[in-house]
Amino acid sequence: MKNRTLIILAALLVAIVFASYALSEMAWLRRERDSDPLRRLIGLPSLAVGNLSPSARNPGFELLCTGLYDVPGGYCNYFTDGVPFVNYRSGANVTLGEIIR
């Protein structure tokens, strides 16, 4: 490999990294500039990382839960009629079909 090729390779890789940074920043700036009526309407949606049973939850979320009690999607304070992490089935509590009059 020639020395020039090595320099070009290093420069190209650095350029790809900084181009990725520029693209990511532009995408975020666009998102931050655009209005988001859904988030505004709900108030404070947590990230929808749902279905976290307490035994499996990221310890970081415990901190969030302790600090805030709960936010929609935080799954901090909920009572289930079973233990979801042992594959408990709570039966067909939801059905899809016609409205029953």
Partner 1 sequence: MSYRYRNLLSYALNCIQRYRTRTIVILVCLTISSGLFASVIILKDGLVREGQLSLKYAPDITVQGVISGRPSYVETRITERIQTIWGVERIVERIWGYGNIGNTLIVIIGVQLENPVTDLDSTYPLESGSFLSAQQSNAVVIGKAVAELLGAKVGDHLSIVSESNQVHQYSVLGVFNSESAIINADTILMSNDDARSFFNIPAGKATDLLVYTEEVNPALYELQVNFVAREISELPNVRVVTKDIIANAQETTYGARSGFFSIVWYLVLISVAVVAFNQTVVVGHESKFEIGLLKALGFSTSDIILIRLVEATVLGLIAGSLGIISGIFNIVVLNAPILRDVMLGWATLYPSFRAPFSIRLQSVLLTYTITVVPVIFTTVVPSWLNATVDPDIAMRGARA
Assess 35 for contact with partner 1 (CB under 8 A).
yes
Q: Which two tokens stand for residue 75?
A: 């799954």
Assess 33 for contact with partner 1 (CB under 8 A).
no
CB of 86 to partner 1, least distance (A): 9
CB of 9 to partner 1, least distance (A): 7
Residue whose structure tokens are 């859904």: 38
Assess 8 for contact with partner 1 (CB under 8 A).
no
Residues 73-92 that bind partner 1 (CB under 8 A): 73, 75, 77-78, 80-82, 84-85, 87-92
CA–CA separation, 98 and 101 (whole Å): 9
Residue whose structure tokens are 């009572």: 79
Taking alpha carbons only, the member of 41, 42, 96, 44 closest to residue 71 is 44
CB of 8 to partner 1, least distance (A): 11
Q: How many residues bind partner 1 (CB under 8 A)?
A: 75
CB of 18 to partner 1, least distance (A): 7
Q: Which two tokens stand for residue 36?
A: 């988001």
CA–CA separation, 61 and 50 (whole Å): 11
